Amino acid sequence: MSRIFTLLFVLVSISVSAQLQSPADYLGYELGTEFSRHADVVDYFEHVAEQSDMVIYNSYGKTNERRPLTYAIVSSPKNLANIENIRKDNLKNAGLESGSASPQVAIVWLSYNVHGNEASSTEAAMNTVYKLITEKKAWLENTVVIMDPCVNPDGRDRYVNWYNQVKSTPYDKKQVAAEHSEPWPGGRANHYLFDLNRDWAWATQVESQQRLKIYNQWMPHVHVDFHEQGINNPYYFAPAVEPYHEIISDFQREFQVSIGKNHAKYFDREGWLFFTRESFDLLYPSYGDTYPMFMGAIGMTYEQAGHGRAGLGIMNDDGFELTLIDRVAHHTTTGLSTIEMASLNATKLNTEFKKFFQNGNLKYKSYVLKGNSDKVNALTQLLDKHEIKYGFSNGGSVNGFSYAQNGTSSMNAAGALVVSTNQPKGKMVKALFEQDAKLSDPLTYDITAWSVPYAYGLDCIASTSLVSANGSNPAFKQINQVAPSSIAGYIVPWNSMSDAVFLSELLQNDIRVRFSEKDLSFNGKKFNKGSLVITKSDNRTNNEFMATVTKIANKNSRDLYVTTTSFSDNGFDFGSSNIKMVPKNRIAVLKGSGTSSLSYGAIWHFFETQLKYPITSIDTDDFSVRSLKDFQVLIIPNGYYGRVLTDDALGDLRTWIRSGGKVIAVGRALSSFVGKDGFSIARNEDPSDDSDDSDDSEDSEDTDNATDDDKLIPYDQRERNGVKDLITGSIYKVTLDASHPMAFGYDDSYFSLKLGGSSYKFLENGYNVGYMKGDAISVSGFSGDEAKAGLSNSMIFGEERMGSGSMVYMVDDVLFRSFWENGKLFLVNSLFFVNSNVAGL
Ligand SMILES: [Zn+2]
């Protein structure tokens, strides 16, 4: 008998422990009383999926720091048994897959914790899934909920691990307490310090790239991006503020209001404050609300008070204690309320979703693009990420709006890339490709220009008639070169980042490479300035020279032009002093307090994942000019360096430059050199809006610079009037000195993304490589009249020689969010070609 009792006891205890547990029972603490580590959150969702027949839990990849990226599919058991058909029917309804369907199931996607230090929402995700499958099952009869419990696990754990290490027990609610002051760079961004809520459209980060694959499989009807804002704000939910992008439909606008009113009902019942319609617009396509909007969903941002300051509890300025428990409750409420509204309107959501993808009335039917084949390939890779269709033209002339001419023109379309709007994702094509987004209000939260043809450096004609595209990609080639028996050297043209990656790999394989400062001609073939010259003579001690170069060229799809003589057609032979050695420079980059984490992160990501060339990052706290003795190049990211670049340090830096060092200063870092002994950079006027990182915080700040007239503007018109000083990311035409090595690979003009109104005079003692002479020409985006006028006669890129070394000034940050593909070669040129006489060999 006793054995049977024992057996029975074991069976009972197994069945008890195997039941679905609440987050509190599973984790061992009430939600909101601790911050949960990402691994614990994953464990809880796995537990839920094991115990419930309403949850499927999958991984969609890994972060840079190898944490899992995951999503749960939550619905009724009946729907889950049929989930693949539900998914496909939705794509058929939108025309994204062949066949027809009239689905009735709503699809809601909830994205939590995209900003790592806005950490209440991942806690709310656990609460929400539990309530959904225990208390709100009825909604799941006609609704599928996709939950991504943490979009940014690396950022979340950076915040949570730090907080758990430093918090007092019990927590200290005083604002001044150390647990409310995150150290640089904070937990907001991902591993490479990119803001993932600015990366949806560009998908430069592994989190975005892997998420978009799943997103495209599902294409939800409603998408919520959960955030947090400053501790003194009440809760924000949709409807959003103007400007809305014009492709957003009336239904999308209306349904945001319906959802907002449903939230309001619950918030009013509890006595919780909220606001709507005063902030967070819907224009820039790369957010977690706009991107889904442009893909047919109701995309929304929800903002809880909290953020990296709030910890488990903090006293706000109004004298109320803001607790994590409350933050979790609010985000849980809006998440559930959203699902409720989707369930109540499932049929309508499906019929309106279908309508969104019918694009017959868009003005431009085709965007036709031509240019360097590497740049075309880079753009097709972007289109592939969004599963946007494209083709190549068989030929013929195309008329329409020319991006380069900023007016009507024509193009021979033979071989051109054609992206048309007569496809389901045509509205996203319009949003990405159109020259200038229509702006109903210039007071926006983000940049107002991003036009892809300019970003990728391609000629583009927007045509009002459909251009056929059944040709093949002329750039596609299989390269399988074999090493020749005898050569004088190789020549490779210099046009694109693909060429730069090739150079980087050669240098790291100890191949000695030259570049030409003159146009070359060999055996009747012409090569532009900047072309790489790889001579047998320079590599004569390397027996593997030809095999290595051939292998690296094949790997990078680079055509090697082989010449058996170094005797040129036009006088510049391989031994010419105009064909200079590329130095294998050792590069230092400043990071840490003072630097913009976004700017540093973009540089870090660029070198590690794009150029694949080593850098050494030096913390500003540890930096002294002495530490540069082993380096040839110092990159100073956008930032404020008053504490680091003191007059003494600048004196030392000048000495280092004069002895052959090169400093590349980006964005606001330039202001550290203005008016300093030995540096000739000067501002055109007083600094106006110099903020180009409105995305460093949840609240964008418009700087007000009061002139005399401004002082008489009424109280309630101040913000509106500030618009005239504002540039919020717009595209300007820049003239280039194409004979300068910094501009090799470019023509004599370039379209630059300007992020603010900072304006610098032409260098008096230096080379003005990129500049705007006379009135500045803006082709896209919003610029206030005064800010635009301030840009006339200003330098954009410049080099100042000092002794044997150089200062390189980059007013515009070409690595901003890593999406301005056509600007990146300026940085590579600056690293390796500009003043290359001092070689770090
Ligand atoms: Zn946020």
Distance 153 CA to ligand 1 centre (A): 14
Distance 334 CA to ligand 1 centre (A): 16
pLDDT at 427 over 70: yes
pLDDT at 691 over 70: no
Distance 229 CA to ligand 1 centre (A): 7
pLDDT at 705 over 50: no
How far is Cα of residue 268 from the mean position of the Cα atoms in its chain?
Answer: 37
Distance 238 CA to ligand 1 centre (A): 15
Mean pLDDT of 371-384: 97
Distance 679 CA to ligand 1 centre (A): 39
Distance 190 CA to ligand 1 centre (A): 12
Distance 455 CA to ligand 1 centre (A): 26
Distance 113 CA to ligand 1 centre (A): 8
pLDDT at 438 over 70: yes
Do residues 273 and 263 make contact, with C-beta atoms less than 8 angstroms apart? no
Distance 114 CA to ligand 1 centre (A): 7
Banded pLDDT at 190 (limits 50, 70, 90): very high
Higher pLDDT, 290 or 473: 290
pLDDT at 279 over 90: no
The secondary element (H helix, E strand) that includes residue 563 is strand 561-563
Distance 13 CA to ligand 1 centre (A): 43
The token duo for 375 is: 């740049």
Higher pLDDT, 779 or 281: 779
Residues 27-32: contacts with CB under 8 Å, at least 24 apart: 27/126, 30/325, 31/123, 31/124, 31/126, 31/127, 31/325, 31/328, 32/120, 32/123, 32/312, 32/323, 32/324, 32/325, 32/326, 32/327, 32/328, 32/329
Q: By percentage, how much of the chain surpasses pLDDT 90?
A: 85
Mean pLDDT of 665-671: 97
Express each pLDDT in 748-803 by its tens digit: 999 999 998 999 999 998 999 999 999 999 998 888 888 899 999 999 999 999 99
Distance 514 CA to ligand 1 centre (A): 47
Do residues 338 and 237 make contact, with C-beta atoms less than 8 angstroms apart? no
Distance 690 CA to ligand 1 centre (A): 22
Distance 404 CA to ligand 1 centre (A): 36
pLDDT at 379 over 70: yes
Given this model, what pLDDT does residue 336 score? 98
Banded pLDDT at 16 (limits 50, 70, 90): very low
Distance 546 CA to ligand 1 centre (A): 52
Distance 303 CA to ligand 1 centre (A): 7
Given this model, what pLDDT does residue 1 score? 43
Distance 64 CA to ligand 1 centre (A): 20
Distance 56 CA to ligand 1 centre (A): 27
Distance 60 CA to ligand 1 centre (A): 22
Q: For 200, how many CA atoms within 13 A lie in the half-sphere containing its CB?
A: 24
Distance 391 CA to ligand 1 centre (A): 37
Distance 70 CA to ligand 1 centre (A): 20
Higher pLDDT, 163 or 686: 163
Distance 110 CA to ligand 1 centre (A): 14
Is residue 413 packed enough to be buried (19+ CB in 10 Å), middle (13-18) or exposed (0-12)?
A: buried
Distance 228 CA to ligand 1 centre (A): 5
Neighbours of 622 (CB within 10 A): 8
Distance 325 CA to ligand 1 centre (A): 19
Given this model, what pLDDT does residue 447 score? 81
Higher pLDDT, 778 or 242: 778
Distance 115 CA to ligand 1 centre (A): 5
| Region at 244 (left for phi over 0; alpha for psi -120 to 50; beta for the rest) | beta
Given this model, what pLDDT does residue 707 score? 55
Given this model, what pLDDT does residue 807 score? 98
Distance 225 CA to ligand 1 centre (A): 9
Distance 189 CA to ligand 1 centre (A): 10
Express each pLDDT in 574-626 by its tens digit: 999 999 999 999 999 999 999 999 999 999 999 999 999 999 999 999 999 99
Distance 697 CA to ligand 1 centre (A): 8
Q: Can you say whether the dihedral through the CA atoms of 477, 482, 484, 488 is positive or negative?
A: positive
Helices (H) and strands (E) in the chain, counts: 22, 35
Do residues 240 and 303 make contact, with C-beta atoms less than 8 angstroms apart? no
Distance 689 CA to ligand 1 centre (A): 23
Distance 243 CA to ligand 1 centre (A): 19
Mean pLDDT of 193-197: 97
Question: Which of 144-148, 157-161, 237-241, 516-520 shows the lowest mean pLDDT across its residues?
Answer: 237-241
Distance 157 CA to ligand 1 centre (A): 16
Given this model, what pLDDT does residue 243 score? 86
Distance 119 CA to ligand 1 centre (A): 10
Distance 467 CA to ligand 1 centre (A): 41
Mean pLDDT of 545-574: 95
pLDDT at 687 over 70: no
Residues 186, 188, 192, 195, Cα dihedral to 10°: -140
CA distance 321 to 501: 53
Banded pLDDT at 437 (limits 50, 70, 90): confident
Distance 698 CA to ligand 1 centre (A): 6
Distance 223 CA to ligand 1 centre (A): 15
Query: What backbone phi and psi angles, to 5 degrees, belong to 95?
Result: 80, 10
Q: What angle do CA 568, 572, 576 make, to 5 degrees?
A: 125
Do residues 721 and 326 make contact, with C-beta atoms less than 8 angstroms apart? no
- For 251-272, letters b (16+ CB in 10 Å) and e give bbbebbeebbebbeebbeeeeb
Distance 131 CA to ligand 1 centre (A): 24
Distance 249 CA to ligand 1 centre (A): 25
Distance 564 CA to ligand 1 centre (A): 59
Mean pLDDT of 333-348: 98
Question: Which residues, including other chains, have CB under 8 Å from residue 543's CB and lie 6 or more apart?
Answer: none
Distance 829 CA to ligand 1 centre (A): 35
Given this model, what pLDDT does residue 439 score? 76
Distance 814 CA to ligand 1 centre (A): 24
Q: Which is nearest to 418 in space by CA: 397, 455, 393?
A: 393
Q: What angle do CA 426, 387, 813 make, to 5 degrees?
A: 85
Which alpha helices (DSSP H) does 345-369 contain, by range?
346-356
Distance 233 CA to ligand 1 centre (A): 13
Distance 200 CA to ligand 1 centre (A): 14
Do residues 530 and 516 make contact, with C-beta atoms less than 8 angstroms apart? yes
Residues 94, 95, 100, 103, Cα dihedral to 10°: -10
pLDDT at 132 over 60: yes
Given this model, what pLDDT does residue 35 score? 98
Distance 316 CA to ligand 1 centre (A): 19
Distance 257 CA to ligand 1 centre (A): 21
Banded pLDDT at 720 (limits 50, 70, 90): low
Given this model, what pLDDT does residue 694 score? 40
The token duo for 268 is: 């009013």
CA distance 35 to 749: 52
Q: State the residue for tokens 């006793």.
A: 2
Banded pLDDT at 717 (limits 50, 70, 90): low
The secondary element (H helix, E strand) that includes residue 836 is none
Given this model, what pLDDT does residue 445 score? 66
Mean pLDDT of 722-730: 75
Q: State the residue for tokens 């910890």.
A: 311
Given this model, what pLDDT does residue 479 score? 77
Mean pLDDT of 686-696: 46
Distance 234 CA to ligand 1 centre (A): 14
pLDDT at 27 over 90: yes
> In whole numbers, what is the pLDDT of the chain averaged over residues?
92
Distance 812 CA to ligand 1 centre (A): 25
Q: Three-class SS of residue 468?
A: coil
Distance 143 CA to ligand 1 centre (A): 27
Express each pLDDT in 746-761 by its tens digit: 999 999 999 989 999 9
Distance 645 CA to ligand 1 centre (A): 32
Question: Which residues, including other chains, have CB under 8 Å from residue 348's CB and lie 6 or more apart?
Answer: none
Q: At what angle do helices 545-555 and 497-508 cross, to 10 degrees?
A: 150
Given this model, what pLDDT does residue 4 score? 52
Which alpha helices (DSSP H) does 373-520 contain, by range?
373-385, 426-433, 452-455, 497-508
pLDDT at 703 over 60: no
Distance 129 CA to ligand 1 centre (A): 21
